Amino acid sequence: MSLPDNELRRIARQLNLPGFDMAQAQRLADARVLVVGAGGLGCPAMQSLAAVGLGRILLYDDDVVDLTNIHRQILFGAHDVGRRKVDAAADRLRQIQPGIEIDAIHERLTPDNIVSALARVDLVLDGSDTFATKYLVADAAEITGTPLIWGTVLRYAGQVALWHSGPGVDGGVSLRDFFPTQPAADSTPDCATAGVLGVTTAVVGNLMATEAIKHLTGLGESVPGRVYGYDALGTSLRSFTVRADPARLPVTELEDFYGAGACAAPPVMESDPAAARLLDLVREGRARALDVREPHEKLLADIPSGADLHLPTSEVSPERVRALLDGVAAPVVVYCASGRRSAEFVDAHADLVSVELISLPGGVNGL
């Protein structure tokens, strides 16, 4: 089907590009892309793909827009706070390209639904932010032979690559040729402490979109296994190529469980006996509260009574712990965002002080 006149006019400047003609425009219009996550990477990537003329997006995300998202998730505004991300993103993308088809799924991708999702698309763009999802997507892409545009970002830097392996792919390269084993969820700084510069996610997301466009249209070089590393503070872009490991067995079936993100924790409500008892002790003055989150995290949420003691995890040392808790007689309830950092604090320092240290299960996020 030929493109309508209003769409041709919308992308007219692209049609002036050397090597970009009606054939490339039609390929984009006919293409179907699965986007995993409407976050800091998915938002700028989808914005650019819609603008360039991509015909169909299958979007999976199970989150809602929060005020703290907006500095990097550029499809959203303050008026979207509380809306489902997939709905807000779809509305904005249709404003950019009225003819785009978007299937917005307010769900998380799992081993039960990802293979069927990949069967509907030509390419998958992974904008997720956990090892669990990235390895799930990479394994499913290899099982189905689906090209995968992969991106990561942390603080002021990020990486982008095209992975393509599996059935029908000659000499393919997978994420597991680069990182054979899924790292532990807490092997990098967690999402509450690491931070990210919003414009860095925009650059990396647009690099992902560029790789998707190249692969779908045949423009330029689209090389599976070529990893691009972007450093915002150094304003540099470097690349290297990952080769297939001949000793690695290809992935032929998904694992039952890929784990959870570093910040994930089982939900713990205030009515939970253990958490409620500790909060009651703090409210009644029979226990002290020690917040080990970073200062900016107080802007997001806190326990009902707040904390009278504060020592950010980034500043913890045995000397500072002793100085802070010297002379404290009441038990100390230590808390963070999810309960992970507070539990580690208690394990590491319980023997250094005479006061009893107790980690608040589930942290602030569990309340």
Catalytic pick among 8, 51, 81, 191 = 191
Question: Edge-to-edge strand order for the sheet containing 157-163?
Answer: 101-105, 56-60, 32-36, 123-126, 148-154, 157-163, 226-231, 236-241
Q: Is 263 a catalytic residue?
A: no
CA distance 359 to 115: 40
Measured CA to CA, the distance from residue 205 to residue 126 in angstroms comes to 10
* 43 part of the active site: no
> 36, 336, 337, 360: which is the annotated catalytic residue?
336
Tokens of 281: 């002790």
Task: Name, in order, each residue with C-beta under 8 angstroms of 235's C-beta and a sequence gap of 6 or more.
Answer: none
Secondary structure in 3-state letters for 112-179: CCHHHHHCCCCEEEECCCCHHHHHHHHHHHHHHCCCEEEEEEEECEEEEEEEECCCCCCCCECHHHHC
Report yes or no: 333 and 281 within 8 Å, Cβ to Cβ: yes
- Residues that are catalytic: 191, 336
